[in-house]
């Protein structure tokens, strides 16, 4: 546990004890997110508590001052997400203390995270480097026609899904992947004579159906998976498109989806061990 004292002239000193939060803190995390104008996202927080480690700092009254999530993929890679500091404690080093703690418990894992404009300087000081820009698109796609190239995933596809995902991520993400059939409202695969060569899912969040993860060997496959998923989805969707994925961006724009948020993708550590050109969209930016 990392401890430091934050001087504060207006209140009693706050000791920055970063501790692991149990599932019972889910509503406090959602309250903290909402206080920073993020959605409450119960389904997402539920997944994050199940597959990740949620940490935070409590103030002298026991209230949550910060929160952040570390999601490990075996020992080789991990993602940091949902970094939040309550507004009343902003700019006193608590966000940095929390992320530093996560970096330390992640040990030698290569870390990825999507940084907001406010968060980015903090992460850069902790050794994260920028790796392109991610744009979040949102909107309703009407009358999308399926390409007919993918099919709904079946239970027997899970080993194939785990294999293509492990290749793209350079890590075993079984913990989260085993939950996908229940977590996703839509899950599709591409198969070549019975062997899964790519997969994509979509899941219902507060106000949109989030399209992701998308793992595919090439652009045509990725776009076919996204198109086939979206052909089945009613109502607004959300889709992440990284700056190194211009055709995905083009796909989103040509459907009149609007880019409502941008984040900088950052990483820390050695080269990413995965075949990153097979990675197209995250499950959620908090998990990669």
Ligand X SMILES: CC(C)(COP(=O)(O)OP(=O)(O)OC[C@H]1O[C@@H](n2cnc3c(N)ncnc32)[C@H](O)[C@@H]1OP(=O)(O)O)[C@@H](O)C(=O)NCCC(=O)NCCS
Q: What is the CA angle 114-230-146, rounded to 5? A: 135
What are 184's two structure tokens? 């996703």
CA 127 from chain center: how many Å?
20
Examine residue 204 and tell whether it contacts ligand X (CB under 6 A). no
153 interacts with ligand X by CB under 6 A: no
Q: Are 266 and 244 in contact (CB under 8 A)?
A: no
**Cβ–Cβ contacts within 10 Å for residue 48, how many?**
23
Candidate residues 51, 96, 111, 252; the one interacting with ligand X per rule CB under 6 A: 96
Phi-psi region of 173 (alpha: psi -120 to 50; beta: other; left: phi over 0): alpha
Stretch that binds ligand X, among 20-28, 114-122, 166-174, 202-210 (CB under 6 A): 114-122
Interface region with ligand X, contact rule CB under 6 A, candidates 21-29, 49-57, 116-124, 201-209: 116-124
Question: Judged by CB under 6 A, does residue 88 bind ligand X?
Answer: no
To ligand X, the closest distance from the beta carbon of 3 in angstroms equals 15
Q: Is 119 a binder of ligand X (CB under 6 A)?
A: yes
Q: How many residues bind ligand X (CB under 6 A)?
A: 17
Check binding of 92 to ligand X (CB under 6 A). Answer: yes
Does 158 engage in binding with ligand X (CB under 6 A)? no
95 binds ligand X, rule: CB under 6 A: yes
Strands 186-192 and 129-140: unpaired
Query: Taking a C-beta distance cutoff of 8 angstroms, is the pair 251, 135 a contact?
Result: no
Inter-residue contact 114 to 264 (CB < 8 Å)? yes
Nearer Cβ to ligand X (18/226): 18
Contact residues toward ligand X (CB under 6 A) are: 36, 83-85, 90-96, 115-116, 118-119, 121-122
């Amino acid at each position: 546990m990392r401890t430091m004292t934050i001087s504060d002239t207006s209140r009693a000193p706050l000791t920055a004890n970063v501790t692991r939060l149990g599932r019972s803190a889910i509503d406090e995390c959602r309250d903290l997110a909402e206080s920073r104008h993020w959605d409450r996202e119960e389904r997402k927080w539920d997944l994050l508590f199940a597959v990740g480690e949620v940490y935070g700092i409590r103030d002298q009254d026991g209230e949550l001052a910060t929160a952040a999530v570390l999601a490990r993929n075996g020992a080789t890679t991990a993602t940091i997400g949902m970094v939040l500091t309550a507004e009343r404690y902003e700019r006193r080093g608590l966000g940095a203390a929390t992320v530093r703690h996560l970096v330390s418990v992640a040990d030698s894992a290569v870390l990825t995270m999507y940084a907001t404009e406010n968060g980015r300087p903090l992460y850069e000081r902790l050794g994260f480097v920028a790796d392109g820009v991610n744009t979040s698109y949102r909107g309703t796609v009407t009358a999308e026609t399926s390409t007919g190239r993918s099919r709904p995933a079946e239970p027997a596809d899970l080993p194939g899904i785990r294999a293509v995902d492990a290749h793209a991520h350079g890590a075993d993400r079984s913990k989260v992947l085993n939950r996908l059939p229940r977590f996703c409202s839509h899950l599709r695969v591409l198969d070549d004579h019975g062997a899964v060569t790519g997969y994509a899912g979509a899941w219902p969040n507060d106000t949109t159906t989030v399209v992701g993860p998308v793992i595919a060997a090439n652009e045509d496959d990725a776009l076919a998976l996204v198109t086939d998923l979206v052909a089945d989805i009613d109502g607004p969707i959300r889709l992440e498109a990284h700056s190194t994925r211009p055709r995905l961006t083009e796909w989103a724009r040509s459907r009149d989806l609007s880019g409502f948020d941008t984040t900088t993708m950052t990483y820390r550590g050695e080269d990413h061990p995965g075949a990153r050109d097979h990675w197209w969209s995250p499950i959620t930016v908090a998990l990669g």
